[in-house]
Amino acid sequence: MKSVQSKRSMATWIATAIAVVFGLLTIKSGGSVLFIGGEYRQQAGNYVPFVLWFNFLAGFLYLVAGIGIWKRQTWAAWLAVMIFTASVLVLVLLGLHIGSGGSYEMRTLIAMTVRCSVWAVIALFCYRTILQKHVDDGVH
C-alpha cells in the first residue's frame, strides 16, 4: 500500500509546479524592481508599493506551499487558504487605492485578479485532496 506522500496525481504535480514557478517568477520580478531598480523600476511604471512588497514576500510562501503540496501536508492546504485570503485582501486594498485616485498600472490589477484566481483553485484543490483525505482517513 502506497503512503499518501508517495501517491501523487497529475493534479498534484500541476498544483506543485504552478505554486513553485509562480513563486520563482514573483520573487524574481518583485526583487528586480525592489532591489535592482533602474530599468526594472522604469518598466514597472506606476507600481503600487504595498502590492509590490506583498507579492515579493508572498513569492516565498508560494515556494513553501508548493513543497507542502508536493508532500501532501495539511499545513500546505491551510497555507494555500491563507495565501488566497491575503491576496484577496490586497486586491481589495488595491481597489481602494485606485478608487481614491492613486496611480497604478492596469497590469497590476489584472495580475492580482489572476493571483487570487490561481490561489482559489489551488486552495480548493488542497482542501479536496489533502484536508478531506486526512479527515476521511481519520488523520488530524
Distant-in-sequence, close-in-space partners of 129: CB < 8 Å, separation ≥ 6? 9, 11, 12, 72
pTM, two decimal places:
0.88
Residue range 31-58: mean pLDDT, rounded:
96
Share of residues in the chain with pLDDT > 70 (%) = 90
In this predicted model, what pLDDT tens digit does every residue of 115-129 receive, in sequence order? 999 999 999 999 999
Q: Can you read off the three cell numbers belonging to residue 98?
A: 485606485
Residue 2 has pLDDT above 60, yes or no: no
Looking at residue 44, what is its pLDDT?
94
Is the pLDDT higher at 5 or at 118? Answer: 118
